[in-house]
Chains A and B, each alone.
Chain A
Amino acid sequence: MTRFVVGRIGFYTLIALLLAFFTIPLLWLASAPFTSNPTYEVRMPDFTWENFEIILAHPYALGSLVNSLILAIGSAILVVVLSALAAYALSRVRLPGRDALLYALLLLSSIITGTAAMVPLFQLAIELGLIDSHTGLILIMTGGLLPAAIFMIKDFMDTTPKSYEESARVFGASPLQIVRHVVVPVVRPGLATIAVWTIANVWGNFLMPYLLLSDVEKQPAAVIMYTLYTEGGQANLKVLSTFGLLYSVPVVLMYLFVSKKYGFRFHGGIKR
């Protein structure tokens, strides 16, 4: 009995320590935006909305969130459409060299990271005139995310039954009609997963926009956030805390949505 009690106490102490380790760094983000004069220390907020008014007046804050949105949505559309088309064809038709292609894609997507490719990507963007271009950045990030996306969605398509497509064909539907009206509705959860995964990736990405966008009007929230706390003088904690919160909220909402709808369990990796 004593052993049981000691075990319980040990368990809850350990959990409390771990929980503290993971929670304490986050507290500032929850308290400082609602505090009149935030410092680095976490304090009980006095629940003011004043800091949010300052953000509204900030020249780049809201614009950068719009930029993040443009980049995230643009990449998500491209990744979903292109990976779905490719994955469907690869799932249903035995193209020559398919297995080798899939293996190569998997390998490439895991070794060519931003760190390994920042020099050539920067050079490439200069040569193609893609510096300071949202389109260029979207294309570059889409190229990086596509292999993993094709993999995830192909896995999904391999497990969906082909009987619907067969019956649609019997009734004379063209292949494109079948894809649009039969396949897409069936694999919609898979497409939604890919979309959320892409948005989360692009929304949080710092390195690529930092390298490729020098025009402050075009920079997404990740870069503006970094500029706010590294450039010049005393960091404005009112702006930083509130902006950080606004920039984080969409990610948290998306996480809650996904975990409620599909369950945020481990499969293929929804992030990173």
Chain B
Amino acid sequence: MALTTSPPDPKALDAAPARGYSSDAAGLGRLRAGAFVAPALALIAVFLVFPALWVIYLGLMNYRLTGIAAAEPGFVGLDNYLKALSDPGFWNSTVLTFQFVLGSAVIGQAVLGFTLAWLMRNRRGTLKSVVEGIVILAWILPSAVVAFLWVALLDRDSGTLNALLGIPGFAWLLDYPMLSIIVFNTWRGTAFSMMLYGAALGNVPPSHLESARLAGASGLQQLRDVVFPHIRGHILTNLLLISLWTFNDFGPFLLTAGGPENKTEILAVYVYKTALQAGDLGYGAAISTIILLINLVVAIFYLRLLRSRK
């Protein structure tokens, strides 16, 4: 489910209004067309739309997994939201989530992805395929596997990282847990930014770069004056999408399970722990609603951007 946020092709939105209608070449007719669409819509309605609405309702109840409140949940209005405001655990998670998104998506993935795309822009052949292949591999391997690979890498006594750095006994996951999951998620997700920027750089006219070079512009000046103005839209798209995904990412749970001492308890993990481990479904639903609203704001911003760009 974490994967339902596929980046839509900007063309998809534009294609519909631009095209002429009365294109019903197979003679489907509205009735049959409706029947074609219905099964998909039914599944989406039951397993995607309804849960999103239900979570708002649940957030207004004192629902619990077990006990009296499980049998007879009562309406508590905005109590869960007021509870969140004064809950240090919620604020801790909010701050950690912000650090996680800023550190691993906005700084880590975007910068590293752009660097890789820029370094590889004029290359063909083995080096390019090897570099891109390895970066993509980190992205496509199952999350449970990569999480354990990092457990092994960062292991205190016999991990490869400490062996390479010559500092046996250094406990990365205990002493620098937040840094660990930020670097982990940067490693994990850079491929998307690399590919997006790779495609974007292909759209920068070589002649512009050439004339900038002839005019004596340095590499950084070329980047600033020629490349960035051309790919501004791609940068914004990239930042919005990876922020949205990172904000909703459950991956760090597999590496640290929120610990030690809640130091990596980002909101996704916090919801899981309060609602499904501690059983406070109502409160968990209220926090989920907050997550949903933040997602909504980012997504609307993104869709407006797509529309304005056509």
Chain A interface residues (CB < 8 Å from chain B)? 11, 14-15, 18-19, 21-29, 32, 39-42, 78, 82-83, 85-86, 88-95, 98-99, 102-103, 105-124, 139-148, 150-152, 154-155, 158-159, 162-163, 165-166, 168-169, 175, 178-179, 182-183, 197, 200-201, 203-208, 211, 221-223, 225-226, 229-230, 240, 244, 247-248, 251-252, 255, 264-269, 271-272
Contacts and interface: CB of A to CB of B under 8 A. Distances in A.
Given A114-B248, A117-B51, A154-B12, A82 B187 contact: no
B174 interface: no
Which of B3, B21, B161, B296 gathers the greatest number of chain A CB atoms within 10 Å? Answer: B3
A234 to B, nearest CB: 12
A78 B196 CA distance: 29
A109 B152 contact: no
13 contacts: A14-B115, A18-B131, A19-B134, A40-B159, A41-B163, A112-B292, A112-B295, A113-B295, A117-B48, A140-B1, A158-B19, A178-B25, A255-B136
A140 B130 CA distance: 37
B58 A147 contact: no
B55 A117 contact: yes
A143 B47 contact: yes
B81 interface: no
A265 B199 contact: yes
Contact of B158 (A41, A206, A244): A41
Contacts, number: 367
B131 A90 contact: no
B134 A119 contact: no
Given A86-B37, A120-B52, A123-B54, A27 B160 contact: yes
Nearest to A202: B3
A252 B149 contact: no
A24 B150 CA distance: 10
Interface size class of B (residues with CB under 8 A): 35 or more
B2 interface: yes
Contacts of A139: 43, 46-47
A25 B8 contact: no
- Chain A interface helix/strand/loop/mixed: helix
Given A110-B295, A113-B295, A169-B27, 8 more contacts: A15-B131, A40-B160, A115-B267, A115-B268, A116-B291, A117-B1, A124-B51, A147-B4
